[in-house]
Structure 1
């Protein structure tokens, strides 16, 4: 702890590196300069990518937020947990408090653990009273310190929560939340468009906070409501403060950015900075925040003893519920890069995301084609700190993360809104799924088809040439592997009986 070391005692951080996971929200493979973006500038992320290992086959577990966050912290495929889906703001905690997590594992090895930013893994056990201590939550699954928003920026309650308590709450103005019906007399985006500074496109027409219509209904808590345009600064300051306060002991910081998730509300310093409207501007803002965080590590003298892993919870989406010029001002920028699909999709752009490992002077600059998943961070960090803890689906890829090996995963199940696919070697299998081929609201191909889809990614990264009919042997091999991994969890086995 701070102040406990004697002058002649070796500092604990000499053998236990600090660990920071920087987790962006809806950042696409093509949104980063180091991954091919020429229109959108991300110099600070690029600095990490160019100074560390830049993975070209780095994956989130899922094409949506809550499942990916569950997998990241637990090392368990989200399809093993029926509750690991996109959650409303009132959802109970979906991580069993008895389950081992990254922060629990690291805390047992002498780390102080903290989360700052987006949580979206549920809070409480149901029927949360937002005016009292809220538990279980991050503190009950391993985090010593937690400064979070409950769910997402577009969902109520629109308040910050610090170690289980809503910050700035006036007890005489209690918070009430309802996801089914509005409170009497409360304005909504649907009924009161004259109150809006951001127009809703779909699904975001309930309670209005800060001129922005949200998902869900909220009453009260006026003094506790956040100002959207200040959110990036608010989280950055808390993350910097956490580093400063714990620099003299090994720490783990999960810095979960809200950008570029909707509603995109850049601070006035960044408005117009990208030329692409609010979506581009908040990516520029997020990149700046990352740069400021790195400066803090440098100023506190701990950068050389800090492993940083940067990634995103899923792929990109443009119009995700608000009119904010994301489509109109896109220009020549392609958020998915050369990949097909995006958020919500079983195609590659849904789950293949920027994935960077940086450790100054310990990781040599390299580009790695090894397949690695965020699920594997659990086992890799356990190896790093000599923990014996294991997790069901996490593989120890520490040497891959450190750039010492190119031998990544051979097999990986990918998930998108409960549908799953298989990546094996250079191949990917998407089983038949019912449903629309495209989500027309967000204009993203979902990967649904009545037929098997089989793609050879090293030759067809854009997934344009379905080889299921012409390479029957490979198809059968992939189907067998998929069924072996999914086992009884797969509820559509009949669809996998090859004709």
Structure 2
């Protein structure tokens, strides 16, 4: 690729060598049988206000609420970015997405160039799926990918280069499922699997995959493309199709999505798999549109924003007999990059000696021991003014953010436009106290700008 200097190339090769498994690193079969299955359910564009268990009131979500009641809810879980592609990269790699030049959603090459980002995730990048596969897991990815492939990006690496054994994915992937892509676009009414049946299809794929691999533990990314627009519910008899951006259509889609989460849980129980399966339920980023902020709950902002509504997500973790049931943790912070080391620890998956992620092992939190995160969390959204004009109005945030304990700071790239919030006391980010807390503002601004300047840059020629 253009613009990769010798230092970055050397670093990439070093990381690749460190992440490759040694001959004796694979788990023995007997140990593998005792390891839990892992399913990461990554909902698309779901705000906290979409889920009843998190205070949502738009549509009842009884099945998701039941899942929450059987496990642990976290109210301070953060995605890696306020938009899909980088947020997904943070989960897969356990690293800030900017380290791999992911900043916004992947599109055509010209858009990616304008956004100063890559066209696909470098296959040398760490991969949670690869780490689990190298420890004896069968690995599957069912649902949206959006880390390379689609539009005019035809050379994106295939799924197996990230350690994924089986897959069924959408148009925004290197190997789209033909049943979902009758045309060269995200969806079509000519698709064999209709838009309203996609989540059911991915649930069926997950259950079938796990049923066929009962002799070994399974790691599955179940990443539906609901509840992302367009919302296309199944039309009733004699009913006209609802407008795909309307609240009425959204409510029907969310109701069906909740039903499919219930089908997944029932299917796991029927197969005797539920009790030894870690399930993570969350979202890649905030909601858009929010219907007047309703879908963001009490939080300011939406998808595309570094305010809480764009990055603070619903989060549920279940594992019967291990993760406490019916508990809500209202103080422990968890970041998307923490999932890789946390799930690895819970699953007895040994990480490569050379792996250096940005996440923290928070397995103790999931097992019920609440604690503060002793490491700052950083975000960027927007490397220039070309490709980052949204959202409009009050929800548009500065381009950089850091959370450190109870404090959250947002600034522009040069440190201007500082906004400081005590995020524990002011989760809605209504009271900017930067002017009265200059010492804390300066401290966090220094850390935030140093972090941002440390990220690699592609040499983009305009």
Structure 1 residue 367, shift from structure 2 partner: 1.4
Contact 1:12 1:250 in 2 (8 A): no
User: Where does residue 53 of structure 2 map in the other structure?
Assistant: 34
The superposition leaves residues 172-200 of structure 1 with CA deviations (integer Å, 9 ceiling, x where unpaired) of xxx778xxxxxxxxxxxxxxxxxxxxxxx
**Are 1:378 and 2:378 counterparts?**
no
User: Where does residue 123 of structure 1 map in the other structure?
Assistant: 149
User: Where does residue 371 of structure 2 map in the other structure?
Assistant: 406
The superposition leaves residues 440-460 of structure 1 with CA deviations (integer Å, 9 ceiling, x where unpaired) of xxxxxxxxx962100011111
CA 1:238–1:208 in 2, change beyond 3 Å: closer, same or farther? closer
Alignment match of 1:314 (pick from 260, 276, 285): 285
**Are 1:102 and 2:65 counterparts?**
no
**Are 1:394 and 2:359 counterparts?**
yes
Alignment match of 1:235 (pick from 187, 202, 208): 202
Separation (CA, whole Å) in 1 of partners of 2:152 and 2:294: 41
CA 1:21–1:93 in 2, change beyond 3 Å: closer, same or farther? farther
User: Where does residue 252 of structure 1 map in the other structure?
Assistant: 219
Structure 1 residue 232, shift from structure 2 partner: 2.4
CA 1:462–1:83 in 2, change beyond 3 Å: closer, same or farther? closer
Contact 1:422 1:428 in 2 (8 A): yes
Separation (CA, whole Å) in 2 of partners of 1:421 and 1:490: 18
User: Where does residue 338 of structure 1 map in the other structure?
Assistant: 298
Structure 1 residue 415, shift from structure 2 partner: 3.1
The superposition leaves residues 345-390 of structure 1 with CA deviations (integer Å, 9 ceiling, x where unpaired) of 0111100000111111211132112110111111112222241333
Structure 1 residue 485, shift from structure 2 partner: 2.9
Contact 2:300 2:308 in 1 (8 A): yes
SS at match of 1:413: strand
Alignment match of 1:367 (pick from 299, 305, 328): 328
RMSD, matched Cα: 3.2
Please, what TM-score do these two structures have when normalized by structure 1? 0.72
The superposition leaves residues 198-238 of structure 1 with CA deviations (integer Å, 9 ceiling, x where unpaired) of xxxxxxxxx9942xxxxxxxxxxx7x665323322222222
Structure 1 residue 286, shift from structure 2 partner: 1.3
Contact 1:61 1:351 in 2 (8 A): yes
CA 1:176–1:115 in 2, change beyond 3 Å: closer, same or farther? closer
Which ranges of structure 1 fall in alignment gaps of 5 or more residues? 1-8, 129-133, 178-206, 211-221, 320-326, 435-448, 492-499
Separation (CA, whole Å) in 2 of partners of 1:400 and 1:269: 44
Which ranges of structure 2 fall in alignment gaps of 5 or more residues? 1-27, 113-117, 384-398, 458-462
The superposition leaves residues 462-492 of structure 1 with CA deviations (integer Å, 9 ceiling, x where unpaired) of 111110101111111211222343343399x
Contact 1:89 1:150 in 2 (8 A): no
| 1:95-174 matches, cutoff 5 A | 95-123=121-149, 128=154, 136-151=157-172, 161-162=176-177, 166-167=178-179
Structure 1 residue 93, shift from structure 2 partner: 6.0
Contact 2:141 2:223 in 1 (8 A): yes
Contact 1:415 1:421 in 2 (8 A): yes
Please, what TM-score do these two structures have when normalized by structure 2? 0.78
Alignment match of 2:447 (pick from 470, 475, 481): 481
CA 1:484–1:43 in 2, change beyond 3 Å: closer, same or farther? same
- The structure that has the greater radius of gyration is 1
Q: How many residues align?
A: 397
